[in-house]
Structure 1
Amino acid sequence: MTALVIRNLSVRLRKGPPLLRRVSLDLAPGEVRGLVGESGAGKSMIGKAVLGILPPSVEITGGEILLEGTDLLRLPPADRRRRIGASCALIPQDPLTALNPSHRIGPQITDRLVDILGWTRRNADARARELLAEVQIPDPDRVMRSYPHELSGGMRQRILIASAFAAEPRLIVADEPTTALDVTVQKQILKLIAGMQARHGTAILFVTHDLGVVSKVCQRLSVLYSGMVVEDARVADFFRAPRHPYSAALLAATPKYTDPTAGLNPVPDAVIEAVRAEVAAFDREVAHG
């Protein structure tokens, strides 16, 4: 069974413009799919829609979100929250703001296991120590007693990764999980996520603006512009021969770290104008039925 299927998902600001335009994609069990595009393209909006954490100013106007065959959008709100809580998890972008500064680390990992999944506190604590060791944090007992400000950014992100995998979710949304980290720590965290995903067999929807990250951790990717998927491809095929002009321009704009003398290649204005016209044509088609 497919882990996640999104069909014709449309999201808009209440009484405002569209934010997602009939987005469709699927995610197989154990697969990592990248969502790439410029800031504001709708990458994080897809993840928030799946997890049911869209802001109040935003509404879903159509489509389906099938989690292991069940349409989350057709469930009553309480049932939807329980299903998402039991089957999904989030690795957020900024570990400092994601962790509660007034609570110790231990309960921030274990409370979900106890309150949502019904684990005993003893079993949840044992699971937390096991996962902290798996994400290569030394002295898990000390870290569980610590507050977030007492730990480095890399350790905080490792804790969020451990927390995401704690209940063996079917699906994890990783929302730019390395953006707030320096380059050296980013490499360590990406390797850690890839290793955890391989060991646990978890499907991951990986939101990023960095095509270099996609090449390292993803099997497939969707390229978005203004809330519309313009290309859906296997990662190897994308890097060999992107089909959409906007995708090719994004790839060409990626800095060449192996050649310090290479200049930067911004996305050409003509490509931007063409993809904007494509979005406008899509909106006209939707408006006229």
Structure 2
Amino acid sequence: MSFLSIQDLSVRLSNGIPLLRSVSLDVSAGEVRALVGESGAGKSMIGKAVLGILPRAAHLTDGRIVLDGEDLESLSPKTRRQRIGARVALIPQDPLTALNPSRRVGPQVTDRLVDILGWKRPAAEARALELLEEVHIEAPERVMKAYPHELSGGMRQRVLIASAFAAEPKLIIADEPTTALDVTVQKQILKLIRDMQQRHGTALLFVTHDLGVVSKIAQTLSVLYAGKVVEETGVEHFFAGPSHPYSRALLAATPKYTDPDGSLTPVPDSVVSAVDAEIAAFDAKRLEAGQR
């Protein structure tokens, strides 16, 4: 049984522009599923819909989000927040803006343990120290007392990873967690997330535009274009030969580390036009059926 099941999820802006078009996907316990596609494809919007933090102008118009057997849309706002807070965590893209600059690091890690699990503050602080050590932060006692601006970007991201795993969530949504880091630190953080996920057995929904990252961390992936899933498959099958023309074009456009001097291959206009026509036909069919 899937821990997270998204069924025919549609999200629109107040002006009617669709952001997600009947998205369906499942994430099983312990599974790592990647959401890939170009900027604006709707990858992060799926995570926001699950967490209940859609932008104010965006609205869920159709579909269901089932978390651990519960339909989140059937719950009261308070109960939904409690369920999500206890079972789901987020590793955001920019560690500097995600951490509160006016608070020391320690309380920002222990808050989840105190507020969600009801731990006493001393026990939460002891667990926070263990987590900071687990994410390979040296001198965790000093880091606990530091402010975010006193840490490097890589250390801030490690703090966010520790915070995400603090309450032992069953699902973590990682929204391009290495984008704001330099290449060397990206590799370290990616390995850390993978090791932590395997050690804790946590399901992971990993948002990225980097297919190189997908090959290293994910088991399954969903390819999005204009808010629609155009292909869903296993990672090995995808890299052996994706079935959708857009997926093949994305793979062909990925820089090859084995050929650093090779030219880049953009997604052909013909492929973009064909996928746009596919999306338009999908919208027309839903409109005719009276769906939103």
Q: Which runs of 5+ in 1 are unaligned?
A: none
- The code of the aligned residue for 1:8 comes to D
In the TM superposition, what is the alpha-carbon distance from 1:262 to its structure 2 partner?
1.2
In the TM superposition, what is the alpha-carbon distance from 1:87 to its structure 2 partner?
0.4
Q: Which residue of the partner structure matches residue 179 of structure 1?
A: 179
- The code of the aligned residue for 1:160 comes to L
In the TM superposition, what is the alpha-carbon distance from 1:281 to its structure 2 partner?
0.3
Q: Which residue of the partner structure matches residue 165 of structure 1?
A: 165
Give, in whole Å, the separation in 1 of the partners of 2:261 and 2:107: 49
Q: Which residue of the partner structure matches residue 34 of structure 1?
A: 34
Task: Report the identity percentage.
Answer: 72
Give, in whole Å, the separation in 2 of the partners of 1:187 and 1:240: 24
Give, in whole Å, the separation in 1 of the partners of 2:91 and 2:115: 19
Q: Which residue of the partner structure matches residue 99 of structure 1?
A: 99
Q: Which residue of the partner structure matches residue 138 of structure 1?
A: 138
Give, in whole Å, the separation in 2 of the partners of 1:115 and 1:196: 23
Q: Which residue of the partner structure matches residue 226 of structure 1?
A: 226
User: When the two structures are aligned, how many residues end up with a matched partner?
Assistant: 289
Q: Which residue of the partner structure matches residue 248 of structure 1?
A: 248
Deviation readout 1:180-215 (Å, 9 max, x if unpaired): 000000000000000000000000000000000000
TM-score (norm 1): 0.99
- Tell whether the 8 Å contact from 2:170 to 2:202 is kept in structure 1 after alignment: yes
In the TM superposition, what is the alpha-carbon distance from 1:16 to its structure 2 partner?
2.2
Q: Which residue of the partner structure matches residue 272 of structure 1?
A: 272
- The code of the aligned residue for 2:55 comes to P
Give, in whole Å, the separation in 1 of the partners of 2:131 and 2:267: 42
- The code of the aligned residue for 2:125 comes to D
Aligned-residue RMSD, C-alpha: 0.6
Deviation readout 1:6-56 (Å, 9 max, x if unpaired): 000000001321100000000010000000000000000000000111111
In the TM superposition, what is the alpha-carbon distance from 1:74 to its structure 2 partner?
1.2
In the TM superposition, what is the alpha-carbon distance from 1:227 to its structure 2 partner?
0.1
Give, in whole Å, the separation in 1 of the partners of 2:102 and 2:168: 27
List 4+ stretches of structure 1 deviating above 6 A.
Answer: none
Q: Which runs of 5+ in 2 are unaligned?
A: none
SS in structure 2 of the partner of residue 180 of structure 1: coil
SS in structure 1 of the partner of residue 117 of structure 2: coil
SS in structure 2 of the partner of residue 168 of structure 1: coil
Deviation readout 1:251-277 (Å, 9 max, x if unpaired): 000001111221100000000000000
- The code of the aligned residue for 1:204 comes to L
SS in structure 2 of the partner of residue 252 of structure 1: helix
Give, in whole Å, the separation in 2 of the partners of 1:169 and 1:32: 14
Give, in whole Å, the separation in 2 of the partners of 1:247 and 1:43: 15
Q: Which residue of the partner structure matches residue 204 of structure 1?
A: 204
Q: Which residue of the partner structure matches residue 25 of structure 2?
A: 25
Q: Which residue of the partner structure matches residue 129 of structure 1?
A: 129
Give, in whole Å, the separation in 1 of the partners of 2:161 and 2:3: 20
TM-score (norm 2): 0.98
Task: Say yes or no: does 1:108 pair with 2:113.
Answer: no
- The code of the aligned residue for 1:272 comes to V
Give, in whole Å, the separation in 1 of the partners of 2:60 and 2:192: 34
Q: Which residue of the partner structure matches residue 66 of structure 1?
A: 66
SS in structure 2 of the partner of residue 3 of structure 1: strand
In the TM superposition, what is the alpha-carbon distance from 1:117 to its structure 2 partner?
2.0
